[in-house]
Amino acid sequence: MVDEQERLLPIANVGRIMKEILPPSAKISKEAKQTIQECATEFIGFVTGEASDRCHKENRKTVNGDDICWALSNLGFDNYAEAMARYLHKYREYEREKNRSNSSNNNQTLATSSGDNKDDGELHLRIEEQQVRQVETHQSLAPLEFQFIDKGQSSTSEPA
């Protein structure tokens, strides 16, 4: 039999989430944390079980985010389902953009050299795109940064 504490969410995480919503001066009793820990664990199990049943009926082995949204809605938690669907959409958008950015970064790293390949005569031009995009603030990508390296010295210049 699985130890009771192993099946529950970590109490430190539950307490941290609880503290986020409360004023800084508020205190949370150990009993309150344990109660929320048990309720949250039961809720997650309830929703996941519903999603898992759907997957089983559809002969699928993997529960995905859409299944969780469906289960929330099916169980009468429509507000949670809508919020979760919005979050899932933003998360997928972020992941697509991150993958797109990573693949373009790999293609944009260039090195050009002049003369022969000796260190004393080489001039390297390296272009790196900075990744500072955050989906939550919808910031655009930072401008390209150019680094000119000649004989071990480097200088950085930003485009105008």
Is the confidence at residue 102, as pLDDT, over 50?
A: yes
**Domain 1-105: which CATH number of 1.10.20.10, 4.10.640.10, 3.90.1150.10, 3.40.50.2300:** 1.10.20.10
How do residues 59-93 score in pLDDT, each as one tens digit? 999 999 999 999 999 999 999 999 999 999 999 99
Domain locations along the chain: 1-105, 109-160
Give the DSSP letter string of the chain: ---HHHHSPPHHHHHHHHHHHS-TT----HHHHHHHHHHHHHHHHHHHHHHHHHHHHTT-----HHHHHHHHHHTT-HHHHHHHHHHHHHHHHHHHHHHHHHHHHHHH------SSS-GGG-EEEEEEE-----TTTTPPPPPEEEEEEETTEEEEE---
Average pLDDT in the chain: 76
pTM for the model stands at 0.58
